[in-house]
Amino acid sequence: MNAPVTIIPASLSSELSPAGLEVELGQLIRQCLQLRTPALALVIAQQIDVLCAHPDYRAAWEQRCAYRRMAWYWRRLAWVTADATLAPLDCCNIHWPSVG
């Protein structure tokens, strides 16, 4: 069983290195895949934003683009699953990634 993940406020996240933020991001994603909560999906999107805005984050544009797409995905997942009256997840082609 995974240890609980502590969500780091954005004000403190900038004190972590980009590598540390990526580790936290991985832990958040694993936890979200188990709990499947919209709030945690939104935290993942925000964590990606913090990582991409970090002054020491140096990545190729392809990786930065991939992170931005990933943030969009998690933000959309949080939005759609938070309000189930919007549309069934199947019709939107939005599914929780499978844990494997």
pLDDT in tens, 6-65: 555 554 555 789 999 999 999 999 998 888 888 899 999 999 999 999 999 998 999 999
What pTM did the predictor assign? Answer: 0.69
Query: Distance between CA atoms of 78 and 64, rounded to whole angstroms?
Result: 21
User: What sign results for the dihedral spanned by CA atoms 26, 27, 30, 31?
Assistant: negative
Residue 86 has pLDDT above 70, yes or no: no
Contact 39, 28 (CB under 8 A): no
Tokens of 70: 């990933």
The pLDDT-based confidence of 100 (bands split at 50, 70, 90) is low
Mean pLDDT confidence for 72-88: 76
